[in-house]
Amino acid sequence: MAFPSTFADIQASVIAKARLDPNNAADVSKVKDWINQAYYRVCLETECVQAQTTLALTANVSQYTLPAAVQRIKWMVAQQQGQTFYGPPLRLTSLDDILFRRKASGGGVVSQGTATFYAFSAPSFVDLWPTPGQADTLLIYYVAFPPVLSAAGDLPQIDEPYASELLELGALIDASDYIKDIMAGYIYPQQFQDAMYRLRQHLSRMQGTQSLVFRIPGGDSFPHDNSTDTGVW
């Protein structure tokens, strides 16, 4: 198999190892699907593909639908209308907590300023507190799915050598079940999990070897202008 492996290279390897017919359009179609399913699984479970996007907020509106591309929220920061900088990360809390905060402040549509807390409600909604008082902007850092592999020359958005190995092994798990190969159905899942472990190690070590800064809840260790609302209290 070529390196780095293209979509066509991975297909050919899976077809050969599973002893499928490369001239059978149905088998080839299944292999393509298995590869993409493994691709999405790897990207979601290891969070190796991340992106950011903005969400326009509306005054007096407290619940928002997340953009479709957002699969997992990593961080969110808010920018006040008319400002050129973002505040500190919004703090995740429960919807129960936000409902109590709204009750204590007079109701769900009371405009109190820039959001500092959020709660994840249902697969695609976030509730903010305080309710935005103006047209602020929310910047969302998130885990994303990459584009589906479709053209023969497409390359996975995963670092090699993990991409070739994981997509092939993931597809072979489905292929072994398809052809009822009991031995392969036992071996490939183990090899896949081993490769996933090594990719996670790689992603962890990419950050460097320094210890992370410990942030004291409710405190702010960064210097700032006293006139600036840091969003922390």
pLDDT tens digits, one per residue of 134-158: 999 999 999 999 999 999 999 999 9
pLDDT for the residue numbered 124: 87
DSSP alpha helix (H) spans, 151-181 = 162-178
Strand residue runs (E) in 117-216: 117-121, 125-129, 131-132, 137-143
CA-to-CA distance for 50 and 48, rounded, in angstroms?
Answer: 6
Q: Say if CB 62 and CB 131 are below 8 A apart.
A: yes
Q: Is 130 helix (H, G, I), strand (E, B) or coil?
A: coil
pLDDT for the residue numbered 186: 93
pLDDT for the residue numbered 18: 96
**DSSP string of 61-72?**
--EEEPPTT-SE
Q: Which residue has the tokens 């703090």?
A: 91
Q: Count the alpha carbons within 13 Å of 151 in the hemisphere toward its beta carbon.
A: 4
Q: Which residues contact 130 (CB under 8 A, 6 or more apart)?
A: 101, 105, 110, 111, 112, 113, 114, 115, 116
pLDDT for the residue numbered 35: 98
pLDDT for the residue numbered 218: 61
pLDDT one-digit tens code per residue, 63-87: 999 999 999 999 999 999 999 999 9
Per-residue pLDDT of the chain (233 residues; tens, 9 = 90+): 678 899 999 999 999 999 999 999 999 999 999 999 999 999 999 999 999 999 999 999 999 999 999 999 999 999 999 999 999 999 999 999 999 888 876 655 555 789 999 999 878 899 999 999 999 999 999 999 999 999 999 999 999 999 999 999 999 999 999 999 999 989 999 999 999 999 999 999 988 888 877 777 665 555 555 555 555 55
